[in-house]
């Protein structure tokens, strides 16, 4: 038998450097670590998370950054354009207004200098009643966020209990409960919310209540679908065999398993709640003045859109950024926790 001989160049390295390849697909890493890696890789979601944190911090501390309050009016300071120290030297945000007159000449005026307010700075300008827009925008953001979060938390509770009970008992109970939800869902949300806020005295709680009326239906659907999946599993059977009561099974065995899903989906409801609130304020059914929400600021600024666009500008940018960020963040969170639901 001939001996097989190997020459020196019979084999070559598969890689130039013989590093160990890290097997990421089947590597042993904890669930939370997986989720984190997945989430951090998603640039949109990361951007969303950072913007949300910045806006929340500004909503908490922003109104105290200067000496103005959301309702302090200085009529002589009305409708000033933004002026920011240091930045003003660059030729932007220096309080100037450029206007074109009828002959087509561009006239530049500076209200701050004309009125002798050399030392006065309004970062986002002032509104038509001489109130600081910076303070009002973040005061408004705070109220919009409070409304959205409270409404969504209430939605989670109602929707989850409703969905768990409906899904767990099944049969007739399920049918009646789901038909009821379906009928309520058949009413266009904006119409229902509009009518409700007409009925209730204006204020934060009325808006939260109006948002709550239809908001829970989506949560109920998610919770129910999850319960239907889980209730056939062995650990529920084991619980039943050991003599656990229905109530205990529902809230001790099933609820902790669906909580994560519900929380993730609730992230999508927050921008929705912010939108509905701003919609109500825009048609004149929102927070009564001098309090402000993002929607009421947009609605106020809209009246002088063509003369003083800066009044509406800042609130609309914050509103758009906030909604965009929450959507990106929720998308990223869902993809990270549940890659199955990920869109390709």
Partner 1 sequence: MGKYILKRIAIACATLFVILFILFVMLEFMPGSPFNDEKLNEAQKALLYAKYGLDDPFFIRFFNYAKNMLQGDFGVSYVINKNFAVSTMIFQRLAVTIVIGIQAMVLGTIVGLILGILAALKHNTWVDTLASIISVIGVSVPSYVFALGLAYFVGFKLGWFPITYNPSNAAMSTILPTIALSLFTIANIARFTRSEMIDVLSSDYILLVKSKGIKEYKMIIKHALRNALIPIITVMGPLLVGLLTGSMVIEKIFAIPGIGSLMIAAIQGNDYNVVLSVAFVYSAMYIFTMLIIDILYGVIDPRIRVAKGE
Q: Which stretches of the chain bind partner 1, using CB under 8 A?
A: 44, 179, 182-184, 186-188, 190-192, 194-196, 198-199, 271, 275, 278-279, 282-285, 298, 302, 305-306, 309, 312, 316, 319-320, 323-324, 326-328, 331, 343-344
CB of 253 to partner 1, least distance (A): 26
Phi, psi of 126 (to 5 degrees): -125, 160
CB of 242 to partner 1, least distance (A): 33
Strand partners, 126: 132
Burial state string for 287-312 with b = 16 or more CB within 10 A and e = fewer than 16: beeebbbbbbbbbbbeeeeeebebbb
- Backbone conformation region of residue 157, classed left if phi is above 0, alpha if psi is from -120 to 50, else beta: alpha
Which is nearer to partner 1, 15 or 98 (by Cβ)? 98
Which is nearer to partner 1, 63 or 293 (by Cβ)? 293
Which is nearer to partner 1, 253 or 277 (by Cβ)? 277
CB of 272 to partner 1, least distance (A): 10
Question: 190: exposed, middle or buried (C-beta count within 10 Å: 0-12, 13-18, 19+)?
Answer: middle
Which is nearer to partner 1, 62 or 295 (by Cβ)? 295
Q: Tell me the CA distances in angstroms from 262 to 26, 190, 220, 247, 310, one per residue in order.
A: 28, 23, 9, 20, 39
CB of 323 to partner 1, least distance (A): 5
CB of 330 to partner 1, least distance (A): 10
Angle between helices 204-230 and 133-169 (to 10 degrees): 40
How does strand 106-110 pair with strand 96-100?
Answer: antiparallel
Where does 286-337 show beta strands of DSSP type E? none
> Which residues does 338 contact at the CB level (< 8 Å), separation at least 6?
261, 264
Which is nearer to partner 1, 63 or 125 (by Cβ)? 125
CA–CA dist 273, 336 (Å, integer): 23
- The owner of tokens 């929340």 is 56
CA-based Rg of the chain, rounded to a whole angstrom?
A: 28
CB of 270 to partner 1, least distance (A): 11
Which is nearer to partner 1, 45 or 255 (by Cβ)? 45
CB of 125 to partner 1, least distance (A): 16
CB of 204 to partner 1, least distance (A): 19
In degrees, rounded to 5, the angle at the alpha carbon of residue 176 between the alpha carbons of residues 171 and 179 is 120
Which is nearer to partner 1, 254 or 312 (by Cβ)? 312
Which is nearer to partner 1, 117 or 227 (by Cβ)? 227
């Amino acid at each position: 038998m001939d001996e097989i001989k190997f020459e020196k160049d019979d084999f070559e390295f598969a890689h130039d450097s013989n590093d160990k390849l890290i097997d990421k697909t089947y590597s042993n890493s904890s669930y939370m670590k997986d989720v984190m890696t997945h989430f951090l890789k998603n640039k949109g979601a990361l951007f969303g998370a950072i913007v949300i944190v910045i806006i929340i911090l500004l909503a908490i501390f922003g109104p105290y950054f200067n000496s103005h309050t959301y309702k302090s009016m200085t009529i002589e300071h009305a409708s000033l354009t933004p002026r920011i120290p240091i930045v003003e030297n660059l030729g932007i945000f220096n309080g100037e207004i450029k206007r074109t007159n009828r002959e087509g000449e561009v006239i530049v005026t500076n209200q701050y200098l004309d009125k002798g307010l050399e030392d006065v700075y309004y970062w986002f300008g002032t509104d038509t009643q001489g109130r600081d827009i910076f303070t009002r925008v973040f005061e408004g953001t705070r109220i919009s966020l409070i409304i959205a979060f409270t409404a969504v938390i209430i939605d989670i509770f109602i929707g989850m209990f409703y969905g768990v009970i409906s899904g767990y008992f099944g049969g007739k109970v399920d049918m009646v409960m789901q038909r009821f939800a379906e009928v309520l869902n058949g009413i266009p949300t904006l119409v229902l919310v509009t009518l409700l806020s007409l009925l209730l005295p204006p204020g934060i709680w009325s808006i939260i209540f109006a948002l709550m009326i239809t908001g829970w239906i989506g949560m109920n659907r998610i919770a129910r679908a999850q319960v239907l999946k889980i209730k056939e599993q062995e650990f529920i059977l084991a619980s039943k065999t050991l003599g656990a009561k229905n109530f205990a099974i529902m809230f001790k065995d099933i609820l902790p398993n669906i909580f994560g899903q519900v929380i993730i989906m609730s992230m999508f409801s927050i921008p929705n709640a912010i939108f509905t609130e701003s919609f109500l304020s825009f048609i004149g059914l929102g927070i009564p003045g001098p309090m402000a929400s993002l929607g009421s600021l947009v609605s106020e600024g809209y009246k002088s859109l063509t003369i003083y666009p800066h009044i509406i500008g800042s609130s609309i940018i914050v509103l758009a950024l906030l909604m965009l960020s929450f959507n990106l963040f929720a998308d990223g969170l869902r993809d990270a926790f549940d890659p199955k639901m990920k869109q390709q």
